Amino acid sequence: MGKVLMKGNEAIGEAAIRAGCLNYFAYPITPQSEVAEYLSRRMPEVGGMFLQGESEVAVAYMLFGASACGERVFTTSSSPGISLMSEGISYVAGAQCPVVFVNIIRGGPGLGGILPSQGDYFQATKGGGHGDYRLLVMAPASVQETVEMVMMAFPLAEKYRNPVMILGDGLIGQMMEPVEFPDHLRTEPTNKDDWATNGMDTRKDNKQNLVKSLYLDPTQLNDHNLLLKAKYERMKQEDVRYEPYNTDTDYKVLIISYGTMSRVCRTAIDNLKAEGLEVGMIRPQTLFPFPEKAIHDAAIKESCKAVISIEMSMGQMVEDVERCVQGKRPVEWYGKCGGDVPTPEEIMDVVRNWKLET
């Protein structure tokens, strides 16, 4: 199959199916209800299952249960819905279940609005739920990348036995772009007999598996947390993803930006280049693990005078950027959080101001 023109939300649903995931649990919420609409029609065609829960709380535990049985499962929701799943996400992470979550962020906090936002960065990367756990978080910048990240999410979740979150925004969900679904990203679940409660079959010589997050013995719970920590450290070694842009120049300013926001930044960078001002960008594709070294190294390039975190949030990723830059360059934040995406002109002004100051 070649390229087809699809809306982001529909492409998300199709990508999950192409990735071999036939179980979708969800509760509708703007701006991503089209995923449910699409899959309510599409899942039966491929022998898959879409079950709408009574609430997002219910959905989280449906995901937990089905995943614990070794099935590939995923959900899609938007900000308030993800909050309602917070307890369940913590359980899923604690019990090491490879569930895939897609959060098409809307403006917050509270009901907020229904337009694009990146306001759930902290929730996704620092764990909205309680306890020490991390999600592997990917942030796509196009419909095609969304498709690929959704397809990669399942084997990554299984590699680490850890939930994976795709963090998009309403633009990703609503925009139409030509996409293809790469065959090589179609994978099979690999290790479920080792841990899932998928039935004891004498032919398969299965062992008795137990999926749980309860460890009443403090030593066992500490050991369990150390095991989780080791997984997160391994993610930092093996699965950091980012895209540099215009970093082979003597850029004066380094932008850190992700998702659809980074596309606007690219335009600004191109325009500024035409004006004679070089600006580099590191676009994190994984928000956790965060491209700490890449950002640090790009920041300390001699030509670079400042680092700006440009976000559709009120200053969240900038904290991670500050951690990476380690005080070696000034770190600033620019952002908006209401649904209006900052324009290239705004970005250009922000950068020019820095040039003036430095």
| Positions in 25-64 near a second copy (CB under 8 A) | 51, 54, 57-58
Is residue 80 involved in binding a second copy (CB under 8 A)? yes
Is residue 8 involved in binding a second copy (CB under 8 A)? no
Q: How far apart are the first and last CA of the chain?
A: 51
Contact region with a second copy (CB under 8 A), list: 7-15, 138-146, 219-227, 245-253:
219-227
Closest CB to a second copy among residues 39, 179: 39
Residues within window 171-210 making contact with a second copy, judged by CB under 8 A: none
- Interface residue with a second copy among 214, 238, 249, 270 (CB under 8 A) is 214
Considering only the C-alpha atoms of the chain, give the largest distance between any 2 of them, rounded to a whole number of Å: 73
- CA geometry: angle at 214 spanning 78 and 207, to 5°? 100
CB 247 to a second copy: min, Å: 21
Which residues contact residue 126 at a Cβ distance below 8 angstroms, ignoring those fewer than 6 apart? none
Is residue 302 involved in binding a second copy (CB under 8 A)? no
- CA–CA gap between residue 340 and residue 336 (Å, rounded): 7
Closest CA to 257 of 267, 45, 224: 267
At 32 the three-state DSSP class reads: coil
List the alpha helices (DSSP H) in 19-110: 33-45, 56-68, 79-84, 86-94
Element housing 138 (H / E): strand 136-138
CB 320 to a second copy: min, Å: 8
Contact region with a second copy (CB under 8 A), list: 139-147, 234-242, 250-258, 313-321:
313-321
CB 275 to a second copy: min, Å: 27
Is residue 108 involved in binding a second copy (CB under 8 A)? yes
Q: How far is CA 348 from the centre of its chain?
A: 27
- CA geometry: angle at 76 spanning 72 and 79, to 5°? 140
- Interface residue with a second copy among 3, 4, 46, 130 (CB under 8 A) is 130
- Interface residue with a second copy among 32, 76, 257, 316 (CB under 8 A) is 316
Is residue 288 involved in binding a second copy (CB under 8 A)? no
CB 110 to a second copy: min, Å: 2
Q: Please report, as a single letter, which amino acid is at residue 162.
A: N
Closest CA to 100 of 154, 22, 144, 170: 154
Size of the site for a second copy (CB under 8 A): 73
Closest CB to a second copy among residues 12, 59: 59
Closest CB to a second copy among residues 18, 224: 224
Is residue 304 involved in binding a second copy (CB under 8 A)? no
- Interface residue with a second copy among 4, 212, 249, 270 (CB under 8 A) is 212
CB 338 to a second copy: min, Å: 3
Omega within 30 of 0 (cis) for the link into 31: yes
Closest CA to 151 of 182, 191, 120: 182
DSSP state of 106: B
Closest CB to a second copy among residues 26, 279: 26
Is residue 343 involved in binding a second copy (CB under 8 A)? no
Decide if 243 contacts 269 (C-beta within 8 A): no
Is residue 337 involved in binding a second copy (CB under 8 A)? yes
Is residue 3 involved in binding a second copy (CB under 8 A)? no
Rg (CA), the chain: 21
CB 137 to a second copy: min, Å: 13
- CA–CA gap between residue 182 and residue 186 (Å, rounded): 7
Closest CB to a second copy among residues 272, 299: 299
Is residue 215 involved in binding a second copy (CB under 8 A)? yes
Is residue 328 involved in binding a second copy (CB under 8 A)? yes
Q: How far is CA 337 from the centre of its chain?
A: 18
Closest CB to a second copy among residues 176, 226: 226
Closest CB to a second copy among residues 2, 47: 47
